[in-house]
Structure 1
């Protein structure tokens, strides 16, 4: 019995949160976020702390715990940075710039509508769990990524929406009026006609295919190759990862974005970028604190 109790105590002690020093940085430039109030929401509750002057935050947390971080600069009306992650022991967390949306829902007669359904179409990063309904007073509040955002509201068959531009730290007050109607087009009466047309189109397609197959011989097209494909085959795994990330982002990105999305450590990333620059695959340009990376025209076969 005593042995079992000791084992239980060891497990409980191992599960207790340990103090972690986390560096907080801005997603676009990698700049440290300092001297700001930060709201920390965890599974055990909410706390508010001050980020240190060196951009660090001491936090009692265990690996695998979900944390929601919201930075609030007292000089702005809205929230300023946000991120929700499952903590896995990282010493650096990237926060994304946000603003705040505060809205109210009204019908076409200007009456307030409580519990209306909500839908948000904003930038995908950071991932935010927006409210799915207004409260009983017809209002809602949420943080939102910087950039264009469209907010939809509906109640019954009435619907409305508002498209807005969010700036960092801004508090945007909006009013959504349910002045449009959701119309459902009946499909049963047209189902039979649609089925017949579908069969006719399929039959015509088969006839044309068989006719074309008899009159034409298949041509074997030469295998397409280009300079970028040939060069990529010679790169290491991490070099390929960086090149492929740039190709997916129109051939350019900030070094901080590459590090955040690939997970490659800072020093390793710097060494790989230097190697790719020496091979004339990347072009590196510094603008203030930001480091801009792009694929060269030579690598892309433009020269």
Structure 2
């Protein structure tokens, strides 16, 4: 065997070993309860209160219910008092835990008022869930109606609020040496995503900020994790029909909390992990083609009308 053949054999063996190890590590995601066990008292041991932004409906409401069911009192923050009160009433009646309601329009900068309302609470879990799309039907950046206003609202809601909520709760978590922060991103942030450019970029900020923050504070006993789901049937997605890749908010939340110990980023469910891998395998030339962009727009329009 000459040097070229030896090199090719070694290279091939290395590739097989590399992907074999990756496949083995991925199979652990199929059995999170075995590989990444989380006790029933895990979240309540972090602190007395959980804070959930966008907690009146959808994914945020589901997190509030789930964490209250695990023994935590919850603070839910959203802009519509009626929906907040309805959610609070249901949580109290179902779980018996305390619920504090904060009315705030997070497309505006209301972090100061929120911080005042959270003073003195032993906050063990923060879920930065709130987020908005500039428009539900995908479109090119300059085609967005009221673009200047939409830019401000998306950045305030998806980026600024998330950063400032971390600023509010991190000092207490650092002092106690424990805590969990879950920052909800989106599956569309896994690649440069045309037609949702502003939204996808805002969610990529969530991921990078969270990963950097986790590196800074993991030795303080704090878990900071990004959740990047794809389809979840919520008001934001116009309650898309539930199927193998579009989950109910309750199913997504229940699944995602099983992956709290897997690392600084997760899609929250095995089907969304597979979908993320598939998306990253699509050549960007194809994903960014005019044909695909038009197809995406028509597909979402059709789903909206059905």
Normalised by the shorter chain, which TM-score bucket? under 0.3
TM-score normalised according to structure 1 size:
0.23
Greater Rg over alpha carbons, structure: 1
- The structure with the greater share of residues assigned to strand is 1
- The structure with the greater share of residues assigned to helix is 2
TM-score normalised according to structure 2 size:
0.23
